[in-house]
Structure 1
Amino acid sequence: MLVISRFDVPETDGDGFLERARAALGAFAARPGFVRGRIGRSADVPTAWALTTEWESVGSFRRALSDFDVKVHASTLLAESSDEPSAFELMGSWDGPVETAGRTDRAVDADTTRVGERPVTRG
């Protein structure tokens, strides 16, 4: 699972944001299921930043969010991110010269059944 959070950070606050983002990555990195994380700033728009993390599964990311250190360092930072979709299934990747195909973990009824709903069964 890939989580991409984008931020609009005034240029004068960049150093402080970077410090906070590093603390957030440190808290995430200590959690089971964390694969990797990165902090980036746009080369074209210096106020645009991104924090990306990769996780073994949706569950490992969601469980990480309940950790105390993550709540202190990462959740407060993520609350400042742009209001847009941020969690994505990995459907493929290039790690160096090797392409890796992803597979979906979505349920077959994910487009018709929402969290907390029971699927309709006929019988």
Structure 2
Amino acid sequence: MLAVNRLHAYGDAEEQITGELAVLLDVFATLPGFLRARAGRCLDEPDVWILLTEWESVGTYRRALSSHAVKTGGHPVFVRIVDEPGAYDVLLAVG
């Protein structure tokens, strides 16, 4: 399953945001079910970023979000996330 989250930078420096994301991704990497992640900045609106993570199942994703390490390490990222649906079931894939 894919978790897609849009974030707002609120004018903060790229180094600050990439540092915050790196901390969260390091925590994710230690958890069962985590497969991979990508983060990037919008080319058209530099204040908008995306965090894309892939998990074995929705259960492993939701358990990860419930862990203390994710809640504490991810707080600087979570306050930036746009409140919208973000969990997707993969129905088609290429490559």
TM-score w.r.t. structure 1 length?
A: 0.70
Q: Distance in 1 between matches of 2:82 and 2:69?
A: 22
Check whether the contact 1:34–1:55 (CA below 8 A) recurs between aligned residues: yes
Q: CA deviation at 1:45?
A: 1.4
Computing the radius of gyration from Cα coordinates, the structure with the larger value is 1
CA 1:75 to 1:56, structure 2 compared with 1: closer, same or farther past 3 Å?
farther
Q: CA deviation at 1:66?
A: 2.2
- Offset at residue 13 of structure 1 (A): 3.0
Q: CA deviation at 1:79?
A: 3.6
State the Cα distance separating 1:93 from its structure 2 match: 1.5
Q: TM-score, normalised by structure 2?
A: 0.89
User: Secondary structure, in 3 states, of the residue corresponding to 2:32?
Assistant: coil
Partner of 2:9: 9
Which consecutive aligned stretches of 4+ in structure 1 deviate over 4 angstroms post-superposition? none
- Asked which structure has the greater RCO (Cα within 8 Å, sep 6+), the reply is 2
Mapped partners of 1:70, 1:49: distance in 2:
19
Q: Distance in 2 between matches of 1:50 and 1:33?
A: 21
Counterpart contact for 1:65–1:75, Cα < 8 Å:
no
Alpha carbon RMSD of aligned pairs, Å?
A: 1.5
Q: Quote how far apart the aligned CAs of 1:76 are.
A: 4.6
In structure 1, runs of 5+ residues without a counterpart are 96-123
Cα distance between partner residues in 2 of 1:18 and 1:3: 18
- Which structure is higher in helix share? 2
Identity %: 37
Mapped to 1, the partners of 2:76 and 2:45 lie a distance apart of 23
- How many residues are treated as equivalent by the alignment? 95
